[in-house]
Amino acid sequence: MTNRFRAPIGAPCWVDLCTSDVDLGRSFYAQLFGWEAQQPSPEHGGYFMFTRQGVPVAGAMGAMGDTRATDTWMPFLATDDVERTLQLAWERGSTVRAPAMAVDDLGTQALVTDPSGAVIGLWQPGSFPGFTVINEPGAVLFVAIDVHDYKAQNAFYREVLGWEPVEEEVDDHHYAGFMDPETGRPLAGIGDEVENLEPGEVPAWSIFWQCDDIDAAAATVRSLGGTVIKEPQDGGLGRHARVADPVGARFWLCETKRN
């Protein structure tokens, strides 16, 4: 387990679920991960947090006004100057999906699209740093994306978020891993294994959640009405499986390698 005061600049620091069935989502993730679903905030459009042992791990919301629920998970990356990050993103061809907006004294958020068309959040912390526990079951382990134009995607995150990824090529596939500057563990990754995408699926950032027992977790997903898209298999971080909640929001489960 790792506790941190706040995320390194450029690293994943928070994740949001946008769901078309809030009540079902509250129940599903509470039973799968042992989370507690907090009460919705009327002043923030019904947005609420999931906590684990009293510590925030993720946020969630349903449709808001004219904005429909997309049934997706989305990560936020940490920045110390969200306006400058937006400017850099715009100069490199990004579309600003939501301009910088202060959320009380908690921090400032914005949304952009990256070169693959995937939406990514930006978060400049105020009093709220995002999730502070990693490397334990029920917490975010990693975020990743597979894209068609690896070079453009890699360059964007280098230039806009300051990534200095570790790159490798294996079996004609490329991979760039953004590593924690203190621990050296991977926090985010870009690859070009687009064969991992389902037919008709467009690139999107994926959340990997750590679990103790991947086979038991996959079985729990099924028992709660979710879907196992890819059965548990061995991979770089450990045994992992791609799953979806009952309304189709996709994510990964990962049982990390034991030393």
| Domain chopping of the chain, boundaries | 1-259
Q: Closest by alpha carbon to 111, among 205, 250, 22?
A: 205
**pLDDT in the model for residue 251:** 98
How far is the C-alpha of 26 from the C-alpha of 19, rounded, in Å?
Answer: 10
pLDDT along the chain (259 residues), means of 10: 83 97 97 97 93 96 86 98 97 95 97 96 97 92 95 96 93 92 91 87 95 97 97 88 98 84
Question: Locate tokens 């950032």: which residue?
Answer: 205
- Choose the CATH number for 1-259 among 3.30.930.10, 3.90.930.60, 3.40.50.300, 3.10.180.10: 3.10.180.10
How far is the C-alpha of 222 from the C-alpha of 244, rounded, in Å?
Answer: 9
The number of beta carbons lying within 10 Å of the beta carbon of residue 12 is 26
The model carries a pTM of 0.95
How far is the C-alpha of 34 from the C-alpha of 27, rounded, in Å?
Answer: 10
How far is the C-alpha of 258 from the C-alpha of 251, rounded, in Å?
Answer: 22
Mapped onto helix, strand or coil, the DSSP state of residue 195 is helix
**pLDDT in the model for residue 235:** 80
In this structure, what DSSP letter does residue 67 have?
Answer: B
